[in-house]
Homo-oligomer: A and B are copies of this chain.
Amino acid sequence: MRKKTTVPLKESCVDAAREVIAESGLEALSLREVARKLGVSHQAPYRHYPSRDHLLAAVMSKCFIDFRAHLEARQASDNPDQDLGELGRAYLSYARSHSLEYRLMFGTPWPAPAEHPDLVRNAVYAFDVLRGVLRRLGEHMPAAQIDQRALFIWSCMHGLSGIRAGDVMQHLAIDSAVAETASEQVLAMIGLALRPPE
């Protein structure tokens, strides 16, 4: 039922869409379901989003904002090394507790990115958090090396998240102690890879 409060339908659509995704999964998201949830006709959302993909892009954009906020709300630490660890933990915990939205952000083809500058901008903002921490970690490190390290760390985080979100891992008969401590183990491995030589 449509809320009596004067919150614009445009924003309500995004919220309702996220509810549907959280309840019934990504593929179950349909414009008509959103409209039904808001108590409006099946065409009302079309006044604000020219297609299903445009609504999806708006949802993704908002997800990136939340994701970034979650990363920035990590446990504070003055030690840059430790700070990187906390950032990793924040990344992994978000991916775990919002696995459907995580897959939407990183595992779904973007609908016509050129048409959605907001989406791109918010995604870059999230990545910049990692860049920032690494910049503090390696004081006068060339930008290329920062990006290289960022890409490596991001790969580890994204890979572990993706593996855990999917159904593959549950069937691999992986040592249960390993599976449970995977986050810390991978973070430790990153620490090893980044430690200075010799």
Interface residues of A (CB under 8 A from B): 25, 103, 105-107, 109-110, 113, 120, 123-124, 127, 143-144, 147-148, 151-152, 154-160, 162-163, 166-168, 170-175, 177-179, 182, 185-186, 189-190, 192-193
Bound-complex Cα distance A84 to B192 (A)? 18
* Copies of this chain present: 2
Q: Say yes or no: B109 contacts A25, CB within 8 Å.
A: yes
Q: Say yes or no: A147 contacts B162, CB within 8 Å.
A: no
What is the distance, in angstroms, from A21's C-beta to the closest C-beta of chain B? 13
Q: Say yes or no: A124 contacts B171, CB within 8 Å.
A: yes
Which 9 residue pairs spanning A and B have beta carbons closest together?
Answer: A159-B159, A155-B159, A193-B193, A110-B167, A158-B159, A155-B160, A144-B175, A192-B193, A107-B107
Q: Say yes or no: B103 contacts A107, CB within 8 Å.
A: yes
Our pick among B124, B127, B178 for the contact of A144 (Cβ within 8 Å) is: B178
